[in-house]
Amino acid sequence: MCGLSGEIRFDGRSPDTAAVARMTDRLADRGPDGQGAWTRGAVALGHRRLKIIDLSDRGAQPMTDARDEVTGVFNGCVYNYPELRDELRRLGHRFTSTSDTEVVLNAYLEWGTACVERFRGMFAFAIVEHRTGRVVLARDRLGIKPLYLARTPGRLRFASTLPALLAAGDVDTSLDPVALHQYLSWHATVAAPRTVLNGVRKLPPATVRVMEPDGSHRDHRYWQPSYTRRPEHAGMGADEWRDAVLDALRTAVRRRMVADVPVGVLLSGGLDSSLIVALLADEGQRDLRTFSVGFEAEGGEKGDEFRYSDLVAREFGTDHRRLMVPSERVSTALDAAVAAMSEPMISHDVVAFHLLSEQVSQEVKVVQSGQGADEVFAGYHWYPRLAEVPREEEPERYAETYFDRPHADMARILRPELLLDEDVSARFVREHMAAPGAQTALDAALRLDTHVMLVDDPVKRVDNMTMAWGLEARVPFLDHELVELAAACPPELKLADGGKGVLKEAGRKLLPHEVVDRPKGYFPVPAIRHMAGPVLERVREALHAPEAKQRGLFRDEYVAELLAAPDEHRTRRGANALWQTALLEIWLQTHGIR
């Protein structure tokens, strides 16, 4: 929930409150229910509120604790805040609201930066110590909630979205060649702390940054599962692992029902979202609201999976809504979806999530969603190939399997001034896989996908598209205790049954077999995948725009080759190469970057 912003000065000057106000205004979609501002000394904070917990004005932000020691802004939800509030009360802390924000402030006063280790949830926050002027920035373990940073001499600005930082002004919008290499290599993913813009960075997941008044800072990464087999699980068989996973998922789903407003579910009809619905029904939820989206077929490709979502809705008696989107609506919705992107994203389901979120936000403010299960439980088709290779060969096999294109292809795509001599994306993978921990090749691949690729693709996509409509999405498969359990699970149990084997076994205890054993699905948007009609026209317009010509990112002959056969050029991972190329230009133009 919500959007936060702020500025810290290190040069003795007062913060630019007008710039903070512009950032806050740009975050209005994330927090349509209220706004606030605070300034003291070298720090100014702004906030837009989405009312989920404590609907009264006592939950408004920026919030100062009862003893006037700290002030903070917070985005997200700490699901165990009632238990923490009780504990903090016993320790002598006073509360004037029932909000989780006030719990965060008092937890910081009691435990310092170690408070994050007690939080169960998703969050990004900034806390200012009144006495010292120190500012603490933090992000949740899986990076579900974003925090973008723009540092210039004498100043740091931060916000929940990159466009909010652009609204403040004075941002270096030149392109980062390393980030561009990652974008073209990793299906548009750019790993923290980079973004495609040189002047904007993002706080990495599971990180606390302490900013001192002189501008120096120190970072602490407070969580990282080992991805090794653990002694406490010794002797567990397949059935015991199935039950342990099901119990952990049940806890995760139950936690994410904490709210003072109704909570729905985005139901695709796949195993993951269907399990969420089944567990909620098993917990006694009645008349649960569920939502699905589908698109018109294009190029012989079907655009909906209503057969399965309808089956699950009937099985568990949900109050179900289906949204069928005509192809012409995709092209008109495209620009709005791009405007909601903090960073360029090429996955087809970006538009799907944006359209679905628009519809869902008219009925509920909070939904649970099934993102993350494929990375956490090894559901993608490339994992068996990675598990077969010796550990030392895995970075090369990962690149062959996961990368959109090899480093050598960059020379025919990018203008010479943007080319890098080194394959920086492959180096990143090698270094990540060589880090301590990760017992097997598959463990190393899952660690990389869960803690890097997942954070800056599916997780970011869901946050951006839902929050654009003031809708909070909660992702139980990224409950950190469930992720820890899955990381310790033997690889063969995850790879079984074509992937996600242990999760499928859990599903068989609750779901119809047609759902568990169905072919793997996704949010298909055929009009984008096949560059149909108006979508292709929008792509041509962007690539021929004066801004694109002036920027000169891509070689003219490469763009001409793609436009001559829009549906024929695919990356190694199956992405439409024209869409990947054009989307970056569309995003830059949409956000006024020249």
**Mean of the per-residue pLDDT values of the chain:** 94
314 close to 307: Cβ distance less than 8 angstroms: no
Q: Provide the 10 A C-beta neighbour count for residue 422.
A: 10
Cα 181 vs. chain centroid, distance in angstroms? 20
What whole-number distance in Å separates Cα of residue 248 and Cα of residue 245?
5
Q: What is the pLDDT of residues 515-564, one digit of tens each?
A: 999 877 655 566 677 777 888 999 999 999 999 999 999 999 999 999 99
User: What is the structure's pLDDT at 528?
Assistant: 76
Q: Give the residue ranges of DSSP H helices in 40-123.
A: 81-90, 100-111
Q: What is the pLDDT of residue 351?
A: 86
Q: What value does the CA radius of gyration of the chain take, rounded to a whole number of Å?
A: 23
Burial class (CB in 10 A: 0-12, 13-18, 19+), 315: middle
* CB atoms inside a 10 Å sphere around CB 199: 17
Task: Tell me how far apart the 2 most distant CA atoms of the chain are, in Å.
Answer: 70
Structure confidence at residue 333 (pLDDT): 85
Dist. CA 502–CA 472, nearest whole Å:
29
Contacting residues for 18 by C-beta, under 8 A, at least 6 apart:
none
On the question of pLDDT at 301 being above 70, the answer is no
119-133, 321-335, 452-466: least confidently modelled range: 321-335
pLDDT at 75: 98
User: Exposure of 592 by Cβ count < 10 A (0-12 exposed, 13-18 middle, 19+ buried)?
Assistant: exposed
| Cβ–Cβ under 8 Å, residues 337 and 351 | yes
Give SS3 for 46: strand
**pTM for the whole structure:** 0.96
Helix, strand, coil tally for the chain in percent (to 5): 45, 15, 40
Count of CA atoms in the C-beta half-sphere (13 A) of 553: 27
Q: Residues 207-220: pLDDT tens digits?
A: 999 999 999 999 99
pLDDT tens digits, 249-293: 999 999 999 999 999 999 999 999 999 999 999 988 888 999 998
How many Cβ atoms sit within 10 Å of the Cβ of residue 558?
17
The whole-number pLDDT of residue 521 equals: 64
Mean pLDDT of 501-508: 97
| pLDDT band at 1; cut points 50, 70, 90 | low
In this prediction, residue 479 carries a pLDDT of: 98
CB 186 within 8 A of CB 403: yes
Position 19 pLDDT exceeds 80: yes
The pLDDT value recorded for residue 594 is 87
